[in-house]
Amino acid sequence: MRILLVEDNPAEACLTREGFADVGLIHELRVVDDGEKATAFLRREGNCANEEVPDLVLLDLNLPKKCGHEVLKDIKSDPDLLHIPVLVVTNSHAMDDIEKVYRSNGNCYLVKPPDLNDFFSMVRRIVDFWWDTARLPPAV
């Protein structure tokens, strides 16, 4: 499974990596740290020409250059990308953000839990659901 994590805080990215490591399965996790790089990565533009399209995107909302809401709109309006499940994982509890994400066809909205074990079990549930429960389209 290939995952793209869009997250500007290296500590958060490290923690997510640890979370996936804790689940035990080996996943390919790529990290980009701003919104523009996320779009470039997914469209395989510039030096991302050799990247593969991920199976799942984990997207933070508060990002430099282009915010998560815009990245989500880019993905969901691109015929080559709109099938990729986008899970928004953020610190924001704001009802506005939640509504906006689902209105832009985001697949899921998750708030980062403050406790490490809760965060790890959230990652475990992501894996359980998107890998074992749900069926995804074949890689392009």
Residue 13 amino acid letter = A
For tokens 């689902």, the residue is 102
Which stretch of DSSP H or E encloses residue 28? strand 28-32
Shortest distance in whole angstroms from residue 12 CB to other proteins:
7
Question: Given the rule CB under 8 A, which of 9-17, 30-38, 47-55, 128-136 is the region that contacts other proteins?
Answer: 9-17
Does residue 115 belong to the site contacting other proteins (CB under 8 A)?
yes
Q: How many CB atoms lie within 10 A of CB 97?
A: 19
Q: Which is nearer to other proteins, 20 or 119 (CB)?
A: 119
CA distance 44 to 117: 35
The answer to whether residues 6 and 71 touch, using CB atoms and an 8 Å cutoff, is yes
Shortest distance in whole angstroms from residue 107 CB to other proteins:
24
Question: Given the rule CB under 8 A, which of 23-31, 32-40, 81-89, 113-121 is the region that contacts other proteins?
Answer: 113-121
- Which residues bind to other proteins, rule: CB under 8 A? 9, 11-12, 15, 18, 91, 112, 114-117, 119
